Amino acid sequence: MENIKAYVQEHKDRFINELIELLKIPSVSADTAYSHDVFETADAVKASLEKAGCDFVEICDTPGYPIVYGEKIIDPSLPTVLVYGHYDVQPPDPLELWTSPPFEPVIKKTDIHPEGAIFARGACDDKGQMYMHVKALEYMVQSNTLPCNVKFMIEGEEEIGSKSLSWFVERNQEKLKNDVILISDTGMISNQQPSITTGLRGLSYVEVEVTGPNRDLHSGLYGGAVANPINVLAKMIASLHDENNHITIPGFYDNVEELSLEERAEMAKAPFNLENYKKAIDLNDVYGESGYVTNERNSIRPTLDVNGIWGGYTGEGAKTVIASKAFAKISMRLVPNQDWEHITELFTKHFTSIAPAGVTVLVKPHHGGQGYVTPIDSIGYKAANMAYTETFGVPAIPVRSGGSIPIVALFEKELKSKTILMGFGLDSDAIHSPNEHFGIFNYLKGIETIPLFYKYFVELSK
Ligand code: BES
Ligand code: MN
Ligand code: MN
């Protein structure tokens, strides 16, 4: 495998340029205005898998956006790695905060990425990280070092809840049969300290609508005499946390697993600097649930956050009005054992019950998914750790992430296999934010590390 370093050095400009071409297609799954581009991106992914050396690649139509499936089966008696990734991206707004247009990728240097980083929507989440696997396959095929079978399943709806993928997985258990699932759609601690994600949070996402009068009213004529839906919504939302920032929905914490002091002490060993954390996002202090530190609040504890809130007049100047309706989008991040559908029910029941007379409340569930935790004594985890240790010179640290990839729990249920989350992004890469980027170092290091995972996974499987 010494040759992988040389291969990456020799081909790195092409690797970067190919990724840049993929990033130019605005595959925003949330907005139907981009629908044509999402389909085009699936075609581009298919072509890249064919070029990299898959024997069979197909576009699988679904009720939504297609899934790109590819495989190279060298010997059915050898293990099979299933690579999952997503080619859809988040909407790029607010556009005015980008320093260069989101779908015109450019390489810029940053403090954290002195070798440069590719700036574009999807650079890290997840086109860049997904494409590392395509290039790793190219290397293994070219150098005749692919030690096992490989299947690729790249979807186009991850950012909107993976509905079609669930549909697809349920119908294709035999085709997707594997010994381990490998995903690069998470992060690591830093470019000096790799980590392997051992947990993901679940998610319940809902939209709420509060309706007062049947039309917008003059706020002088009616103000004080009728319920103002925006005032009421703000009050209802505020009541969802108590003074310790615990969530007040009855039953919400029932299935939350409390970690032992030993486990929490183990977590606290991961390098973390609170001052740098605050500085990176310009905060004078952190905020959260009493009794837990930052690294616990955003990984092993469930949360409730308003993602958007609107209603009434928000245009220029002032308009004196009591709006007929107010709205909010609310997400709850869940921990393993909390069932997202049950939590959605608890939320709905509670939120409806706290509505005062004078308004009506509607809760619309959006999507959700279960959380995930994975043990660190599996062959897959060990193989990933050996791979990182070899390319970074230090072992990886297990870390539970606050983000969600709901499909991972479904993979375990439907395909009965464990997922290894080998992420190469950094928290500072601004995924879902303006100026998303992915370090060139990270991209190339990923391409270098992935073939080692295959090598060690096959060795340990013997
Ligand atoms: N890749 C992210 C999830 C992620 C990022 C996990 C970093 C851990 C570390 C994924 O694309 C994502 O954004 N997931 C959504 C959930 C989905 C159902 C919309 C999320 O976490 O908000
Ligand atoms: Mn992602
Ligand atoms: Mn994402």
Counting from 1 in the atom list of ligand 1, the atom nearest the Cα of 197 is 8
Ligand nearest, relative to CA of residue 187? 1
Place of tokens 């929507």: 121
Residues 83, 65, 208, 362: is their CA dihedral positive or negative? Answer: negative
Nearest alpha carbon to residue 118 among 254, 22, 214, 35: 22
* Torsion of Cα atoms, 407 then 304 then 269 then 424, to 10°: 40
Whether 157 is in the pocket of ligand 1, judged by its Cβ within 6 Å, is no
Count CA within 13 A, CB hemisphere, residue 266.
10
Q: Rounded to an integer, what distance in angstroms lies between the CA atom of residue 218 and that of residue 240? A: 30
Substitution candidate for ligand 1 out of 86, 404, 419 with most atoms within 8 A of CB: 404
Q: Is 404 exposed, middle or buried (0-12, 13-18, 19+ CB in 10 A)?
A: buried
Ligand 1 contacts CB of residue 336 (under 6 A): no
- Ligand 1 in contact with 405 (CB < 6 A)? yes
Cα dist from 282 to 265, 273, 294, 295, 309, whole Å = 28, 14, 16, 18, 23
CB of residue 8 inside a 6 A radius of ligand 1: no
Nearest CA residue ID for atom 6, ligand 1: 403
Question: Which atom belonging to ligand 1 lies closest to the Cα atom of 427?
Answer: 7
Domain locations in the chain as residue ranges: 2-200+371-461, 202-256+302-369
Structure tokens at 140: 């293994």
Q: How far apart, in whole angstroms, are the C-alpha atoms of residue 341 and residue 47? A: 38
∠ Cα 367 121 71 (to 5°): 75
Please choose from 84, 129, 154, 158 the residue to mutate so as to test ligand 1's pocket, defined by most ligand atoms within 8 A of CB. 158
May I ask the CATH class of domain 202-256+302-369?
alpha beta
User: What Cα–Cα distance (Å) separates residue 450 from each residue in 138, 162, 377?
Assistant: 11, 25, 19
Could you read off the pLDDT tens digit of each residue along the chain, which spans 462 residues?
669 999 999 999 999 999 999 999 999 999 999 999 999 999 999 999 999 999 999 999 999 999 999 999 999 999 999 999 999 999 999 999 999 999 999 999 999 999 999 999 999 999 999 999 999 999 999 999 999 999 999 999 999 999 999 999 999 999 999 999 999 999 999 999 999 999 999 999 999 999 999 999 999 999 999 999 999 999 999 999 999 999 999 999 999 999 999 999 989 999 999 999 999 999 999 999 999 999 999 999 999 999 999 999 999 999 999 999 999 999 999 999 999 999 999 999 999 999 999 999 999 999 899 999 999 999 999 999 999 999 999 999 999 999 999 999 999 999 999 999 999 999 999 999 999 999 999 999 999 999 999 999 999 999
Ligand closest in space to the Cα of 427: 1
Instruction: State the greatest distance between any 2 C-alpha atoms of the chain, in Å, as a whole number.
Output: 80
Closest-lying ligand 1 atom to the alpha carbon of residue 404: 21
- Ligand 2 centre distance from Cα of residue 280 (Å): 22
Query: Which token pair is 292?
Result: 């837990």
Is the C-beta atom of 158 inside 6 A of ligand 1?
A: yes
Class of domain 2-200+371-461: alpha beta
Query: Ligand 1 centre from 247 Cα, in Å?
Result: 22
**Residue 199 CB less than 6 A away from ligand 1:** no
Hey, whose CA ends up nearest to atom 10 of ligand 1?
Answer: 405
Quick one: which atom of ligand 1 is closest to the CA of 406?
18
